[in-house]
Amino acid sequence: MLSIRICLLACLTLLSGLAQAKYDPEQYLYTLMGSTPNPNVNQNGIGIYIYDGVNSMDALGPYRVFKTAGLKTFLIAQQAGTITTNDGLKIQVDKAIDNVAALDILLIPGGALETAAQTQNQPVLDWIKRIDQTTVYTTSVCTGSWVLGAAGLLQGKQATSNWYRAQEVLAKYGASFQQERWVRDGKYWTSAGVSAGIDMALAIVVDLFGGTALNNAYAQAIMLDLEYDPKPPIRGGSVRKTNPKVFGAMQYMYDYYLLPFVQGTP
């Protein structure tokens, strides 16, 4: 009888404690905002390398995700100054590669012909290789994986890229193409085209903050702040979901000016 009374008292004490632990949105907010990335990528920060002809959303989609997550994020160019994206957006960049010796995360966004040109830009490739030696993560969006490949960083890795002849291009650099929105192989993260960079950036946020006692709550708060809940009006947006005739026409268009790059040597 005594043991039953002890168990009953213990249960009542526990229930009383639970009743007192009511949800306080203000306190929960403070708890969320106290979340810190692990590993700490705010030491050297997240650097996004951009160049004339870069796809603006490749760079600015992840930039917005990382900044919303409170991460130290900035843009870098080969030389400081104004960069013009492939849709005519002009961006002032204050940091040049010569002034950046270390990053916690490096992100290379893509484009088209201008990205192909970056695969031949030896000073940039040399800088990427130096930065990669000490990064926590080295990442790319869309055809930015071409640049990582040209720097020799994807050899033997699984990776993804923009859909355009992705298997052929990545094979040139010794990488195995995976038709996924984003792929992680060790410290290397690659994403498919344009909007997939947002998915990858969010996955990185989950990785950095998801191991806390709040589980994925911090990343979920970021998604809500961005109201990120895609709902395309029609089926499409990937090779698997696109009408084969549409796919063929789009590939023909890109072949017109990019096929020589695909067929050339890296």
Nearest to 140 by CA among 41, 45, 49, 208: 49
Token reading at 237: 């947006």
Residue identified by tokens 């969010």 is 202
Burial class (CB in 10 A: 0-12, 13-18, 19+), 31: middle
- Residue 7 annotated to the active site: no
The one catalytic residue in 76, 142, 170, 205 is: 142
**Residue pointed to by tokens 């290789």:** 129
Contacts of 30-39 with CB under 8 Å at 24 or more apart are 31/214, 32/214, 32/217, 32/218, 32/221, 33/70, 35/209, 35/212, 35/214, 35/218, 36/209, 37/69, 37/71, 37/208, 37/209, 38/208, 38/209, 38/211, 38/212, 39/104, 39/136, 39/208
CA of residue 6 relative to chain centroid, distance: 54
Q: Residue 56 and residue 61: Cα distance in Å, rounded?
A: 8
Q: Is the dihedral of CA 196, 159, 184, 96 positive or negative?
A: negative
Residues 103 and 131: beta-carbon distance below 8 Å: yes
d(Cα 60, Cα 39) in Å, to the nearest integer? 23
Catalytic amino acids?
142
